[in-house]
Amino acid sequence: MEMNRNRYFLIGVLLILLGTQFRMIDSFVLNEPTTRALAKMSKRSHPTVDESFSSFLMQVHPKPTKRVHPPRWLGLAMIAVGSVVSLHAIAIPRH
């Protein structure tokens, strides 16, 4: 796949839009399958009391969800990278 200026510009605009979305939200909630997969992947070999209690609640509670708080700087970083990529797309010569 050839990366031409249209694709660079599209990636830059998408990063800018995604960055503004991350700046506007405070947190988001994952759905049940994603929360269960995240819980299975993050298990440690030596479970503590809190982890065993939370795994017990995961088995009892029918729809567990996890709230994710993205860092504040993530949106600004995505906007900055998207701006640089979009401006780079404008600077690329046409073929």
With a CB cutoff of 8 Å and minimum separation 6, the contacts of 43 are 51, 55
pLDDT of res. 82: 97
pLDDT greater than 60 at residue 74 = yes
pLDDT of res. 95: 73
pLDDT of res. 1: 72
pLDDT of res. 59: 61
Range of the domain at 59: 31-43+50-68
∠76-80-83 over CA atoms, to 5°? Answer: 140
Q: Are 95 and 21 in contact (CB under 8 A)?
A: no
**What percent of the chain stands above pLDDT 70?**
80
Q: Are 6 and 83 in contact (CB under 8 A)?
A: no
Question: Are 1 and 17 in a shared domain?
Answer: yes
Whether the model clears a pTM of 0.85, i.e. scores above it, the answer is no
Q: How far apart are CA 92 and CA 85, in angstroms?
A: 11
In sequence order, the β-bridge partners of residue 68 are: 28
| Number of domains the chain contains | 2
